[in-house]
């Protein structure tokens, strides 16, 4: 009779192992589900095409620095950004765009036309910009050559 009592003993180990395996698989499935549904913001949607054109970008920057780099000053008191072109561009009829680029959120990016005054400067209103790091990208042309300048500013 002692043999039959030992065979009828109940143990929880097989059930505990199965429950642990089910919990672990559920955790992995939940992790995969959350990872697949997470929004990933890229710096740019067309980053591959931009990488191919990078040598052209380097040439634009070199041309800009050869004639004098664009000066950008942020005034926290007025919440304005002053864009000042060097005197070497004075005789040139410049057209282009100013891009206010927010690295952390591409939905906040703004693009403005380059509209220089008589003193080769443009004042940008920064009151509507969220505080944080912004990159001001100036892409312009004189009709013959294209130029590019980029500065990082901290909006407070």
Quick one: CA dihedral 125, 127, 128, 132, positive or negative?
Answer: positive
Domain that holds residue 13: 2-36
79 within some domain: yes
Q: Are 64 and 70 in contact (CB under 8 A)?
A: yes
- Structural domains of the chain, count: 2
Same structural domain, 32 and 71: no
For residue 2, name the pLDDT band (cuts at 50, 70, 90): low
Same structural domain, 30 and 91: no
Same structural domain, 79 and 131: yes
Asked whether residue 40 carries a pLDDT value surpassing 90, the answer given is no
127 within some domain: yes
**C-alpha to C-alpha distance for 13 and 49, rounded to whole angstroms:** 58
Same structural domain, 57 and 110: yes
- Percentage of the chain modeled with pLDDT above 90: 24
Which one is predicted more confidently, 44 or 30?
30
Same structural domain, 24 and 88: no
The pTM for the full model equals 0.64
Range 129-153 average pLDDT: 89
Alpha-carbon dihedral angle through residues 110, 84, 116, 104, given to the nearest 10 degrees? 0
pLDDT for the residue 33: 95
For residue range 56-98, list pLDDT tens digits in order: 888 888 988 888 888 888 888 888 899 998 888 787 888 899 9
Same structural domain, 54 and 118: yes
Q: Are 102 and 137 in contact (CB under 8 A)?
A: no
Q: Are 150 and 96 in contact (CB under 8 A)?
A: no
Same structural domain, 32 and 55: no
């Amino acid at each position: 009779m002692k043999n039959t009592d030992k065979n009828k003993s109940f143990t929880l180990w097989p059930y505990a192992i199965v429950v642990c395996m089910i919990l672990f698989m559920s955790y992995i499935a939940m992790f995969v589900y959350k990872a697949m549904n997470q929004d990933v913001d890229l710096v740019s949607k067309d980053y591959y095409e931009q990488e191919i054109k990078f040598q052209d970008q380097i040439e634009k920057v070199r041309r800009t620095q050869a004639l004098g780099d664009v000066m950008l000053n942020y005034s926290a008191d007025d919440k304005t950004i002053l864009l000042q072109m060097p005197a070497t561009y004075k005789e040139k009829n410049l057209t282009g765009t100013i891009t206010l680029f927010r690295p952390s959120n591409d939905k906040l990016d703004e693009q403005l036309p380059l509209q220089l005054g008589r003193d080769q400067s443009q004042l940008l209103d920064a009151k509507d910009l969220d505080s944080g790091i912004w990159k001001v990208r100036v892409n312009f042309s004189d009709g013959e050559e294209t130029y590019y300048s980029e500065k990082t500013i901290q909006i407070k």
